[in-house]
Structure 1
Amino acid sequence: MADAARDLRTAADDLERARERVETVGETQLRRCREAYRELLDLLDRYEGRATGSGDFKAFTEFQGAVATLAEDLDEDLPERETFEAVDDYLQQRRLSEADFETARRKLEPVGDLVGRLDEWERAREDYADARRAARRRLDELDERVAELERLRRLGDADLDAPVDRLREPVGAYDDAVREAFREFRSDAPARELLALVERTEAFPLVEFTPPPDDLLAYVRDHEAGTEPVPTLLEYADYSASKLAHYVDDAAALQRAVATRRTYLRNLDAEPLTVGWPPPPADHLPWLAREYRRVVASFADETVVARLRDVRALADREDYERLRESAVARAELTDEEHERLASGAVERDLRAAREERSAIEDALAAHDPL
């Protein structure tokens, strides 16, 4: 695995060296020199095929004139100005060959090496920015890693012999009761009433029903078939068009709205209203129970609501978190995780992750963004 802190420090050092090499000459001076260097290379490339030998005399004179003008226009203090002038002098011959163009390029190599400092600096800036981004990404990964290892360590400290049935029994009793109540409601209530209830749960963020599709909701609201329960509508959806015409006023509308939504209707159950096992943390359970009660009370009898109150009361137990941690540990810790906890591997990994995270934070603090 890459060492993000080391890579960032290395990139910072490379950037500083590159910056110093540029400042030794001067950034502005180097940029002017690079512009002239590139312009002269471009002239060599464009005219090499036309200004050589005894070919295009016009191109030959144009080329020599352009090179002379470039050399004459150079600032007196331009780095490597003498090299440009030397190349100009060399190219002012009565006849030029391809070898002369290659010689001119070789004579320009010192200029290329000098202006290469700018390229080196620009690459170093990009590498440094990349290294900072990589360090930030690694820091996010380590935050998640540390949180997971701390969770494992916490679960490893849980009392696996704690009497979790004190929580399991009321939670299980409520979950079973609400499932049965919802099954009855789904079987007997008009589909428009059931789907209206599901639609209203969008006001309760902790009740995670999938909202009814708009076309299905519109159909059960606007057609007489919406007074039938969901199982009946699903049965209708399997009828042929001719048979369906005996049961509904618009067979095609039912096919469009219901037949295409079979999966949604078949999967509609009480799971979004169950607490589940292991139960949520104590500070979350009261909010969950509060939203569940607003929904459950609209279709279930008082015994189901009473069981939900029993679940809500669990959060007030002094031993709730201890019992819950035991339940979570039993439910979530794998055999491998038990072994890693027992061997000390989790503690070692946690220490290493924290040290790496600290090193990256120090490196980011020590080296400013561009």
Structure 2
Amino acid sequence: MARPDAVARLESAADAHDRAQERVEAVGADALRDCREVYDELERLLDSYDGRATGGGDFEAFMEFQGQVGTLTEDLPEDLPERDTFEELDDFLQQRRLTEGDFERAREMLAPVGDLVGRLDELDDAREQYKKARTAAGRRREELDERIDDLERLRRLGEADLDAPVERLRDPIERYNDAVTEAFTDFRRNTPARDVLAVIERADAYPLVGFRSPPAELLTYVREHDTGREPIPKLLEYADYSASKLDHYVDDATALRSAVATRQTYLRRLDAEPVRIDWPPPSADALPWYCRAYRAVVARFAEEAVVAALRDVRALADRDDYERLRESAVARAELTDAERERLASGAVEEELATAREDRAAIETALETYPPL
């Protein structure tokens, strides 16, 4: 089995980090840091005085440069890496006269020191790449978790009995949906707008009921103006009137146009959809919760017969065959022809096995290579 790319990348990053760590430990991290301080300061001095302390340039700068180099390299620790190189460089620069070529030569003398202290940067880079590789592996594991969940669900749907009598669930749900749709349509058509919107507002107490809350300005308007006693279709009709015509029908044409005319889309879209049962229906665990929330709202605008139809839907969750029938309904609704072909050919099983193997390999790698 080929290793997942995320594992290969993590193993490579771990190897690179180990090599970089070994190169640093061969000298000593503290010793390298001390060496880097001297190296960096010498580099800065060379860059700062190049051109000023050469030839017939500024004699004061020349003396200052030699003094700072001498001070820096004086009394270096005996065990400092490249101590001899620093002292040789100091001897070389303590000439009676320096040229631009001397500065170039000094940089060449320092080059091996730069390579040595560069091991610290290599280790920092290797550590960063290791962390990125570990993060990428963790992210890939999460993706595989989702992929496995999807494939397992697809396989479960493929095992569903497509010939199961799903009408035992569908018929009661359709009876309720038809009844509640008709009841809400009548409610919206014939009930004062203020009462309709009051029911919608109170539905906010039930998160499973997806009515959009009435806009505050609209709610205030229907409560405070006589026009709020009119049903919603009448309000929408008024909203289409011209200003001069509207003055004959309402006490405050400006208020109506401000509160209603700008919310026509909201009012026109109010329907029973938020209290209808989806098809395929929710799980046996979820269905009673939906029915309980819907009943609290539906009872405010529908007759007892509609509530009774909802109780019949609630009772479906207690059937021993509910989940079997529901799985069949979900499979019929969601399985595409391509997915059915993949299931029949065994491709889904192969993909699932590969995903599980990859996830296991990544989990092993993450355990093998812990966070730094």
Same fold, TM exceeding 0.5?
yes
Match of 2:298 among 284, 290, 296: 296
Equivalent position amino acid for 1:37 in 2:
Y
Residue 281 of structure 2 corresponds to which residue in structure 1? 279
Equivalent position amino acid for 2:261 in 1:
A
TM-score for the superposition, normalised by structure 1: 0.96
Q: Distance in 1 between matches of 2:238 and 2:219?
A: 17
CA contact (8 A) 2:54 2:99 kept: yes
Q: After TM superposition, give the deviation of residue 337 of structure 1 in Å.
A: 0.5
Structure 1 residues 110 and 235, CA, compared in 2 at 3 Å: closer, same or farther? same
Residue 38 of structure 2 corresponds to which residue in structure 1? 36
Match of 1:59 among 54, 58, 61: 61
Residue 201 of structure 2 corresponds to which residue in structure 1? 199
Q: After TM superposition, give the deviation of residue 257 of structure 1 in Å.
A: 2.0
Q: After TM superposition, give the deviation of residue 241 of structure 1 in Å.
A: 2.2
Residue ranges of structure 2 left out of the alignment (5+ in a row): none
CA contact (8 A) 2:295 2:310 kept: yes
Q: Distance in 2 between matches of 1:75 and 1:160?
A: 83
CA contact (8 A) 2:218 2:260 kept: yes
Equivalent position amino acid for 1:231 in 2:
P
Q: Distance in 2 between matches of 1:59 and 1:278?
A: 86
Residue 136 of structure 2 corresponds to which residue in structure 1? 134
Equivalent position amino acid for 2:91 in 1:
D
Secondary structure of 1:108's aligned partner: helix
* Superposition pairs of residues 192-271 of structure 1, within 5 angstroms: 192-271=194-273
2:356 aligned with 1:350, yes or no? no
CA contact (8 A) 1:191 1:230 kept: yes
Residue 308 of structure 2 corresponds to which residue in structure 1? 306
Equivalent position amino acid for 2:238 in 1:
Y
Which moves more between the two structures, 12-21 or 134-143? 12-21
* Superposition pairs of residues 156-171 of structure 1, within 5 angstroms: 156-171=158-173
Q: After TM superposition, give the deviation of residue 219 of structure 1 in Å.
A: 2.2
Q: After TM superposition, give the deviation of residue 59 of structure 1 in Å.
A: 1.8
CA contact (8 A) 1:175 1:276 kept: no
Q: Deviations over 1:180-239 (max 9, x none)?
A: 111111112222222221121221121122222222222222222222222222222222
Structure 1 residues 27 and 187, CA, compared in 2 at 3 Å: closer, same or farther? same
Q: Distance in 2 between matches of 1:297 and 1:58?
A: 97
Residue ranges of structure 1 left out of the alignment (5+ in a row): none
Number of aligned residue pairs: 370
Residue 74 of structure 2 corresponds to which residue in structure 1? 72
Q: Deviations over 1:313-343 (max 9, x none)?
A: 1111111111111110000001110111111
Q: Distance in 2 between matches of 1:207 and 1:148?
A: 27
Q: After TM superposition, give the deviation of residue 157 of structure 1 in Å.
A: 0.4
Q: Distance in 2 between matches of 1:363 and 1:221?
A: 65
Secondary structure of 1:163's aligned partner: coil
Match of 2:111 among 109, 117, 137: 109
Percent identity of paired positions between Structure 1 and Structure 2: 68
Q: After TM superposition, give the deviation of residue 369 of structure 1 in Å.
A: 1.2
Secondary structure of 2:26's aligned partner: helix
Residue 96 of structure 1 corresponds to which residue in structure 2? 98
Structure 1 residues 173 and 77, CA, compared in 2 at 3 Å: closer, same or farther? same
Equivalent position amino acid for 2:221 in 1:
Y
Q: Distance in 2 between matches of 1:199 and 1:124?
A: 59
Residue 361 of structure 2 corresponds to which residue in structure 1? 359
Structure 1 residues 241 and 51, CA, compared in 2 at 3 Å: closer, same or farther? farther
Structure 1 residues 109 and 229, CA, compared in 2 at 3 Å: closer, same or farther? same
CA contact (8 A) 1:11 1:128 kept: yes
Equivalent position amino acid for 1:345 in 2:
A
Q: Deviations over 1:221-265 (max 9, x none)?
A: 222222222222222222222222222222222222222222222
Q: After TM superposition, give the deviation of residue 74 of structure 1 in Å.
A: 3.1
Structure 1 residues 98 and 169, CA, compared in 2 at 3 Å: closer, same or farther? same
Q: After TM superposition, give the deviation of residue 2 of structure 1 in Å.
A: 6.6
Q: After TM superposition, give the deviation of residue 73 of structure 1 in Å.
A: 5.2
